[in-house]
Every structure is written in structure tokens, then in C-alpha cells.
Structure 1
């Protein structure tokens, strides 16, 4: 029995869905615009979860980033995709999922030449307990104070994914679970 390939939703420049492609084949040196999401998970103490991408990741292996990212399946609600991906990637049940940056979009090229090209709304969520991440997704994780994260990204941007720096730079208001 073969596993069904994971699909991503391809988008026109205005964000209109125009088709799908297999996730395993879409991230190349000429990645088409597609739908994604990014999520920053907060704990009950107001700390944010940061993760270090697994060394086996195709793009930005080994860099620190937001809690998790992903792609909704065709027709899947973004809130449902976030809940699904939090469980798959981090072994966490999340609640209180809220959009923080609904219009976030970026294009970035990693050192290997692979492009990320996404319309990627940014969300916050809450979780209790520590993650039990999938080894193929996350190498390390830490709960950090939001101000400490901002300072670390500003001081050592090369150690972080480009999208977390851009997200923090445009975040309106305080970067916290209440955002």
C-alpha cells in the first residue's frame, strides 16, 4: 500500500488557488508561489517555543526558527492545518489559535539555492507541556522569553530562518501570546 503524497496549494500572484503540486517536488531553485502558514506557540508563562530545524531538512537545515510552519492540504482550513501540524511536528495539542499577521508573504533563497516562495499567514497558539518533536522535523527546541528572542534574532540573524526575522520586524504591537 503506497502512501498518498502530501500536496501544497499553488497560488496566483493575487493569492487565488490555481492548482496543486506534491510537496516533495515543489521546493526547488524555481519554487512556485504556494500557500503556507507559520505559528508561534506560547506557554502559560508567556514564553514562546523556538525550534531548530532538523539537519535533514531540505531548506535551512539546522537553523533556529519559529515554533513550526507548514502547508494546508487542498481545501483544508488553516486552523485545522495548524492543529494537525502541531501534533505531527511537535507532538503538541494547541489551542487558542489566532491570526497575528494575516498578509505575511515572503520569498527567500537558502545557501543551497532552494527557494521558499509563500503566502504565509502567521498565527499564535497556546500549549501546555513540553513538545515531543518528530526527529525528522526538529533537532532542538527551547521555551524563551519573547524579548530574549527578539534580541537573539537581531544579534545573530545568521543563526535563524529569514522568515522569523521578517515576522518579528513587522509584528504590530507586543510580541506575546496576547498579540
Structure 2
């Protein structure tokens, strides 16, 4: 288990790197024609748009989700985004994120992405922050603009990540992660840095 300190952000002592042949995840939708749900300022659905158009300099508000996965020891799973990701490549973040497809229930979308990104089956899934919203711009000028409900999940499994999505992963204590985010928020995804401040599980 990683003890997250500022030093870990540059040179961490334990991590799992994803090997290209280590693929137990399920191939589900991540197609070029995948669509996401557009929202107005009140959070109402106003249409759909291709997912690829949601990563630019003027990204419109759309629906997403974040999930934090915990194991039976109470450790939380953190992942490092693949270097090929369009937005925030190589950045440490929460367990996984995603977008529901049009007409897809959010809980179904979370389950789908857990399998696609990490090869995980979730045992429990609870909505923790139903109205979380953020807007952020990465160093390349890519804007994320999302209403992003946050879920907490549990699993008995060890991840088998999709290397197109995840470069590395680690299990760590929630309190250690909270301290690391407080000390160096720039080293993590901006949505996770904000979510950790709001989630009760990281305040202990």
C-alpha cells in the first residue's frame, strides 16, 4: 500500500505498471461515434453530442461521473491516466471516470466503465455527491466542463487495467491520499482534488 506524500508524486516506492498483454477487462463501448449527454445550467438534458467533441477549448456542459473504489481493508484505488489520454495524460486521479450513454442509467454506466477500464466487478455502489460540478483547463488548453455525480464502490478483486486508459494504479489509505492532495493538488486531476475535499470518507 502506498503512503502518499509529496515525494511519492515524483518518485513513488510502490506501484503497479500496466503490461500490454495483461488484459482481463471486457471490451465494451468506447467507439468513435459514442455520444454524451449535453446539459443546460439547471442540469436538464438538452441533447447529445459526439464524445470526441467534448475535449476542446470550448467544451459545453455535459454529464459524466466519477467513482472511488475501496477494497475490504478500506484502501482506495487511485489510477494514473494513460499517456495517450486527450485530457490530463499521465495524471494521478480517482479510480475511474466516464460518461453515461444516452438513455443509459448512471449506475449501469459506472458498472460498464469499471469493467472496461479496470476489469473490475463492483460489489456495492453508492451515490455520494449527486450534484458535483466543475470546470477545469489542462496544460494543453483542453477544457472539462461537467456535472459529475460521484460514487463510492467496493470490490473484492484486484484490477486488471486497460492500458489504453490506465498507466498505473495503487491502493492507498484515504487519509494519506487526502494529505497528498492537500499538499500538492497540482499533482492530481482537478476534479479529484475538489472531490476529496467534499467526500466524508477522506475527512477521517
What TM-score range do you get, normalising by the shorter chain? Answer: over 0.9
Alignment of 1:128-167 (within 5 A): 128-167=156-195
1:4 to partner: Cα distance: 6.5
Matched, 1:120 2:179: no
Runs of 4+ with >6 A deviation: none
Question: Unpaired runs of 5+ in structure 1?
Answer: none
Distance 2:42 2:71 in 1: 35
Matched, 1:38 2:44: no
Whether the 8 Å CA contact 2:32–2:52 is kept in 1: the answer is: no
Distance 2:45 2:74 in 1: 36
- Which position in structure 1 is the counterpart of 2:121? 93
1:90 to partner: Cα distance: 0.6
Question: What CA RMSD, in Å, does the superposition of the two structures yield over aligned residues?
Answer: 1.4
Tell me the matched-pair count.
Answer: 174
Deviations 1:58-99 (A, max 9, x none): 000011000000000001111000000000011111121100
Matched, 1:174 2:198: no
Distance 2:54 2:201 in 1: 35
Distance 1:87 1:148 in 2: 26
Distance 2:140 2:74 in 1: 35
Between 39-48 and 4-13, report the one with greater CA deviation. 4-13
- Which position in structure 1 is the counterpart of 2:7? none
Whether the 8 Å CA contact 2:66–2:150 is kept in 1: the answer is: yes
Matched, 1:49 2:77: yes
Distance 2:167 2:189 in 1: 14
> Normalising by the residue count of structure 2, what TM-score does the alignment of the two structures yield?
0.82
Whether the 8 Å CA contact 2:93–2:188 is kept in 1: the answer is: yes
Q: Secondary structure at the match of 1:174?
A: helix
- Which position in structure 2 is the counterpart of 1:17? 45
Aligned with residue 138 of structure 2, among 110, 114, 118: 110
1:5 to partner: Cα distance: 1.4
Distance 2:140 2:37 in 1: 24
> Normalising by the residue count of structure 1, what TM-score does the alignment of the two structures yield?
0.93
